[in-house]
Amino acid sequence: MQAILPLGWTHYLAGGVAIGLAVALLFVLTGRIGGMSTVFSSSWSWLSRRSYFQQARFVGTRAWRAVFALGLVLGAGLWWWLQGPDQPVRTGLPPGVLLAGGLLVGYGARLSGGCTSGHGICGLGSAQMPSLAAVLVFMATGFATALAVQAMGWLP
Amino acid sequence: MTPLYLLAVLGCGALFGYGLALSTMIRPEVVLSFLRGQDYGLMLVMGGAVVVTFMAYRWAPRRLRAPLLGGQFDTHPSVMNRDTLLGAAIFGVGWGLCGVCPGPAIASLGAGNLPTLWALAGIALGAWLQGAQADRHGPAAAGAPAD
């Protein structure tokens, strides 16, 4: 256990179940699918007049998606207040890496129609084969990239 | 949308964010340690979330005529095509580079992780580029499903 889970396992499983309950509750109450990448397209419909962003599937869902995203911020804030460390949780990664990585994450997730939550949790949760394929592909390129970056010594 | 509906969505989002924070997925370093094969905790996070979601997605449409607050039960519309796989491959490269994905990018702000704003800006820019590119290829190609 120590070799594959050096930081323990209970917080991982409890956090995962909480995420699952959130997606489940959203579905039971509203029938909505709680993937997180679509909010990055639907929110552009407020700012951009491009026909892509003005599609009904974005304009019609942008309000609840924005509220859901606000909930994520509040929930993590609640955790910080109740159980978190005194200091803010700050990443030590350089801004350029975060920006470049984020750009690929945003473009790729929207082209693919889902991310770790959309394909990973909601797609697998509804036994969708295209989502399983997407998860296997992004896990493979994710592992390859992280290992390559580490091997080349770009990041500590 | 009624205030109750929006409050319910906000509450579900808060539980999602709490889970992301509790499971330390809001720390990019923890995600990168998974992708480097040093800590397999992310499998427990995803596994726990998928099992609960799977049960709800199967149970609710069979037992309930409609969602409790109205509307209808949506489905996650993923399709097997080039965009789904190519997009996933690009997503994985970015994820392996910075350890940030859309949910944690948003949630981590609540725990004071302000450097993540860089990743958030990148994701928003990437989503805009995808939409602009889909527009150029015409409405027929603008069919990436919502998740």
A69: closest chain B residue by CA: B13
Sort out which chain A residues have CB atoms less than 8 A from B85's CB and list them.
112, 133-134, 137
**Is the CA virtual torsion B132, B136, B138, B144 positive or negative?**
negative
Q: What is the pLDDT of residue B98?
A: 97
Residue B28 above 50 pLDDT? yes
Domain boundaries, chain A: 91-156
pLDDT in tens, A101-147: 999 999 999 999 999 999 999 999 999 999 999 999 999 999 999 99
* Residue B141 pLDDT level (bands cut at 50, 70, 90): very low
Look at B111 and A105 and tell me if their CB atoms are within 8 Å.
no
Q: Are A23 and B52 in contact (CB under 8 A)?
A: yes
What's the pTM value of the predicted model, to 2 decimals? 0.95
Q: What is the pLDDT of residue A156?
A: 65
Chain A residues 103-132 with CB within 8 Å of chain B: 103-131
**A30 in B contact zone (CB under 8 Å):** yes
Q: What is the pLDDT of residue A2?
A: 79
Chain A residues 43-82 with CB within 8 Å of chain B: 43-44, 48, 50-53, 55, 57-58, 61, 63-64, 67-80
Q: What is the pLDDT of residue B142?
A: 46
CA separation for the pair A137, B93 (Å, rounded): 10
Sort out which chain B residues have CB atoms less than 8 A from A27's CB and list them.
53, 56-57, 60, 67, 73
Residue B147 above 70 pLDDT? no
Q: What is the pLDDT of residue B76?
A: 83
pLDDT in tens, A24-49: 999 999 999 999 999 999 999 999 99
* Residue A95 pLDDT level (bands cut at 50, 70, 90): very high
Residue A154 above 80 pLDDT? no
* d(CA B34, nearest CA chain A) in Å: 8
Domain boundaries, chain B: 3-141
Cβ neighbors of A2 (< 8 A, separation 6 or more) are none
CA separation for the pair A110, B102 (Å, rounded): 11
Residue A87 above 50 pLDDT? yes
pLDDT in tens, B72-97: 999 987 899 999 999 999 999 999 99
Look at B19 and A117 and tell me if their CB atoms are within 8 Å.
no
Return phi, psi of residue B77, to 5°. Answer: -90, 75
Look at A50 and B12 and tell me if their CB atoms are within 8 Å.
no
**B140 in A contact zone (CB under 8 Å):** no
Q: Are A91 and A156 in contact (CB under 8 A)?
A: no
Count CA atoms within 13 Å of residue A79 on its CB side: 31
pLDDT in tens, B18-27: 999 999 999 9
Chain B residues 22-41 with CB within 8 Å of chain A: 22-30, 32, 35-41
**A5 in B contact zone (CB under 8 Å):** yes
CA separation for the pair B104, B145 (Å, rounded): 21
CA separation for the pair A138, B103 (Å, rounded): 16
Q: Name which residue leads in pLDDT, B76 or B145.
A: B76
Cβ neighbors of A131 (< 8 A, separation 6 or more) are A114, A118, A119, A120, A122, A123, A124, B76, B78
Q: What is the pLDDT of residue B137?
A: 82
Closest CA to A133 of A155, A148, A114, A150: A114
Q: Name which residue leads in pLDDT, A156 or B35.
A: B35
pLDDT in tens, B107-118: 999 999 999 999
A51: closest chain B residue by CA: B135
pLDDT in tens, A48-78: 999 999 999 999 999 999 999 999 999 999 9
ipTM summary value? 0.96
